[in-house]
Structure 1
Amino acid sequence: MHVELVDETGKVTAPIIEQTKKLLAFAADYIKLPESKEMAVSFIDNKRSHELNLEYRDTDRPTDVISLEYKPDEEEFFFDEEMEIPDELMAEMDPFIGELYISIDKASEQAEDYGHSLEREYGWLCVHGFLHINGYDHYTEEEEKEMFSLQEEILTAYGLTR
């Protein structure tokens, strides 16, 4: 999987950027995502997180990670109106799956609050957002159990434990 990384803050260390790339590739392999998939990750500050959270989620506060899942639009590919295109084919035709915005301010705060390393917090946010853009959610107790269990499985298998 190809990951485009942008540090809008200029404060993210090279090891965190490298960990993010490797962890996302690992997570993609773990859930058997095709290698052709692409995504973007931007490291931002709380001010930018607040702006994006308001714009995309109508929530007037900063948050730790914003996940924007991308779903291809059949109209982009100029198919005959009567053709029905299977979701699998659409997914192959457009490899971009989405983007994550990770607040470095929230990551620092939460690492301290939870008593674990900054590397662990960035990894947790990265995998959490990645699972969201791949269809996982935690609105119900059942969904939460599935998503958080998978998230912990991936982090543990990668070697990023508490």
Structure 2
Amino acid sequence: MDITFIDETTKISEANLKEVEELLQFAADFLKISEDTEMSVTFMDNAGIQVINRDYRGKDVPTDVISFALEEEGEDELPIIFEDEEEVFPRNLGDIMISIERTEEQALEYGHSFERELGFLAVHGFLHLNGYDHIETEDEKEMFGLQKEILDAYGLKR
């Protein structure tokens, strides 16, 4: 899977980037995602993610992670279909935005490492890109169960 990383904070170390990339590659293999799939991950501060949260979700507060799934259709949207799409374009899952400030805050709040919280948020966003959600109780159990299974199998435990 091809992952584009954008660090707007300059707070992410090369080791953090490598760990997130390896974890997302592991999660992609776990879900049997095709190798020619693309996605992006942007690391930002609370102010930046608050603007996105306000503009796209109507919530004027910073959040930890936001995902924009390109394959998800909104109400009254029609799917975009290209002839021979598989041969022309690689599959693009979408974009994940992670607030590094919220990652640091939550790591302290939950009593685990920054790396564990960053990995948790990356996998959480990745599952959203792949159609998982946690609005309904049953969906939440499925998504959080899968999230824990992936993190545990990778070795990133609380």
TM over 0.5: yes
Instruction: Kindly state the Cα deviation for residue 150 of structure 1 after the two structures are TM-superposed.
Output: 0.3
Q: How much is the aligned-residue C-alpha RMSD, in angstroms?
A: 1.7
TM-score by length of 2: 0.90
User: Structure 2 matches for 1:13-162, cutoff 5 A?
Assistant: 13-71=13-71, 73-74=79-80, 77=82, 93-162=89-158
CA contact (8 A) 1:8 1:43 kept: yes
CA contact (8 A) 2:54 2:60 kept: yes
**Residue identity in the other structure for 2:14:** A
Whole-angstrom distance in 2 between the partners of 1:125 and 1:21? 13
**Residue identity in the other structure for 1:97:** L
Q: How many residues are matched?
A: 151
Whole-angstrom distance in 2 between the partners of 1:31 and 1:43? 24
Whole-angstrom distance in 2 between the partners of 1:152 and 1:5? 24
Instruction: Kindly state the Cα deviation for residue 71 of structure 1 after the two structures are TM-superposed.
Output: 2.2
Instruction: Kindly state the Cα deviation for residue 74 of structure 1 after the two structures are TM-superposed.
Output: 2.2
CA deviations on 1:72-123 (whole Å, 9 max, x unpaired) are 8526x3x5xxxxxxxxx75774411111000000000000000000010000
CA contact (8 A) 1:67 1:129 kept: yes
Which 5+ residue runs of structure 2 have no aligned equivalent? 73-78
Instruction: Kindly state the Cα deviation for residue 36 of structure 1 after the two structures are TM-superposed.
Output: 0.8
Instruction: Kindly state the Cα deviation for residue 55 of structure 1 after the two structures are TM-superposed.
Output: 1.3
User: Which secondary structure does the structure 2 equivalent of 1:74 belong to?
Assistant: coil
Closer/same/farther in 2, CA of residues 91 and 20 from structure 1, 3 Å limit: farther
Give the aligned partner of residue 84 of structure 1: none
Which consecutive aligned stretches of 4+ in structure 1 deviate over 6 angstroms post-superposition?
A: none
Q: Percent identity of the aligned residues?
A: 49
Which 5+ residue runs of structure 1 have no aligned equivalent? 80-88
